[in-house]
Chains A and B, each alone.
Chain A
């Protein structure tokens, strides 16, 4: 204990005397520390995001669609595949009450909307209240569709108000004009107070009962599978069928299903396949998208990306450690004479080793503390200033980083310290 204290005292003196050398060592370790904290924070924000995504999107998801790509050897024998209707959705839900969500969805891509004399192009989605159970990333004004609306085929609808898009460049703006044929709709919805008013959809009058506002991009939770998220007008699927928006003989709906429990997902999948077989005499007319697999792949990809980040942090520490080793080795050679003197007055090999290791560990410790401060400054105020969003730095991250910094310096000082301890006293004394 005493010798440790003495070694620490000598170390502090050496660190103070060799300011430049010490500062460079601190920096080498501090940079590692910054990268480490940053990557740890990145991992945690990824983890948090994934948790939120799982809550919003669910995991045990599957999607049933009609398989349009039916082929037939003889065109005369071609029979169109059976269509999925609202009744099928109701039946599936009643046969398999364990399913968390059975959401029938029908998309109509080109409709007109008239409001106070203005006509715009829009898309129209027929849904049920089930739709809102997953991927609901909006704030709602008014109310959403309910089963009363659906069962009574009421002419009510909910409009989606787009968030202000993030700033983009000129090329993107041109492209958006070219492709975004519902831009006028977005403008209309964001600049008019349409809640409670009536609108005309392809000359059928509807009442707007709710507005779904998209959250601004910075605060919106991501959904794991963001395809087909461009909803504009949502109305009861039954109403759309009743008023001829859907041709129930030919237009097939998609069924978005959340089995609820990912452990029973395989079983649920089989039950759904069975249901289709019994109801339609076979399941080859349908595609069942196993979205759970896609979701899991997406999650795995995020986790892998995090591991890459953390390995970068470890590499940075390694680089810092090698820096410390280099500095310590240089110190050993610069202080060979001193080592000789200390050995002559009775220092053992262990004393010499301890001295250099303690000194390096102190460099690591101070570097780690410095790095933690820099890591915080970089992760919170600087990142916020640069618009990167603050890192979720937890108190234990700097603590772990300081420990690892000290440990790294300790490990990398062992070899130089051993070199110092192995010097023969007479040889060490002879150097100038």
Chain B
């Protein structure tokens, strides 16, 4: 799964001229790369990640995902792409608190129409992989921050995605948990998954193979 962006821009509506978040960003990411996007807050990192994850649309430029222009995709196709090819990990976990860990991991598989037995089996396996065996029935509110993020990783892996997009995955975690999550991401990358991680933690960024530094909506050289 290759990613290619050229002159990507995003202007949010509001005010006379709108509010520019991205001002022409161009880069390419090859399959299997581990890329960290760093920069001060408000520099457009999250906006870029949302666009890369098809949660938002650019207002200018081109974004080719696996050779396809995402602006030409229908909403349904983008939903399918998010479901099957992309896994998200958010700073605030974004788990459904009403569902147990198992239910959260099942969610993407539910939308993929996977049979119940298969879904349960895979969710158990994924939770075991992230070290949460025995905590399948716990709701996010009963889990620690690090555990919640591991549920989120298990969820991101549910439909065997090609890309993991992580938006400040360790922003709400202590340093021990942060290291564990980072180890997990590196492990996944080693298994062949493309990882793009937004962070402003320089230490974590240093462990990534490639760094994209952003400032004021542009990439620094």
Q: Is the CB of A338 within 8 A of B53?
A: no
* Residues 41-89 of B contacting A (Cβ, < 8 Å): 50, 53-56, 75-76, 79-80, 82-84, 88
Name the B residues within 8 Å of A3 (CB-CB). 111, 113
Q: Is the CB of A345 within 8 A of B55?
A: no
Residue of A nearest to B56 (CB): A426
| A17-B98, A425-B55, A429-B94 given; A342·B76 CB < 8 A | no
Residue of B nearest to A427 (CB): B56
Q: Is the CB of A345 within 8 A of B88?
A: yes
Q: Is B112 an interface residue (CB 8 A)?
A: yes
A sample of 11 inter-chain contacts (CB < 8 A) reads A2-B113, A338-B96, A343-B79, A345-B155, A346-B82, A346-B83, A347-B83, A351-B111, A425-B54, A425-B55, A429-B90
**A346 touches which of B75, B95, B96, B159 (Cβ 8 Å):** B159
**A341 touches which of B94, B110, B158 (Cβ 8 Å):** B94
In whole angstroms, how far apart are the Cα atoms of A3 and B113 in the complex? 7
In whole angstroms, how far apart are the Cα atoms of A7 and B52 in the complex? 29
* Given A346-B159, A425-B82, 10 new contacts (CB under 8 A): A343-B55, A343-B82, A344-B55, A345-B82, A345-B83, A346-B80, A350-B76, A425-B56, A426-B55, A429-B55
Residue of B nearest to A350 (CB): B76
* Residues 97-152 of B contacting A (Cβ, < 8 Å): 98, 107-108, 110-113
| A2-B113, A17-B98, A429-B94 given; A349·B56 CB < 8 A | no
Could you tell me the distance in whole angstroms from the C-beta of A112 to the nearest C-beta in chain B?
A: 88
Interface residues on A, range: 20 to 34
Q: Is A348 an interface residue (CB 8 A)?
A: yes
Main secondary structure of the interface of A (DSSP, over half): helix
Residue of B nearest to A9 (CB): B110
In whole angstroms, how far apart are the Cα atoms of A426 and B57 in the complex? 9
Q: Is A424 an interface residue (CB 8 A)?
A: yes
* Residues 378-432 of A contacting B (Cβ, < 8 Å): 424-426, 429
Name the A residues within 8 Å of B53 (CB-CB). 344
Q: Is A6 an interface residue (CB 8 A)?
A: yes
Residue of A nearest to B156 (CB): A345
In whole angstroms, how far apart are the Cα atoms of A341 and B80 in the complex? 14
Q: Is the CB of B98 within 8 A of A345?
A: no
Name the A residues within 8 Å of B112 (CB-CB). 346
In this complex, the member of A340, A342, A346 whose beta carbon has the largest number of chain B beta carbons within 10 angstroms is: A346
| A2-B113, A3-B113, A17-B98 given; A348·B79 CB < 8 A | yes
Q: Is A133 an interface residue (CB 8 A)?
A: no
Name the B residues within 8 Å of A13 (CB-CB). 98
Could you tell me the distance in whole angstroms from the C-beta of A30 to the nearest C-beta in chain B?
A: 26
Could you tell me the distance in whole angstroms from the C-beta of B217 to the nearest C-beta in chain A?
A: 16
Residue of B nearest to A338 (CB): B96
Q: Is the CB of B56 within 8 A of A345?
A: no
Q: Is the CB of A346 within 8 A of B84?
A: yes
In whole angstroms, how far apart are the Cα atoms of A424 and B110 in the complex? 21
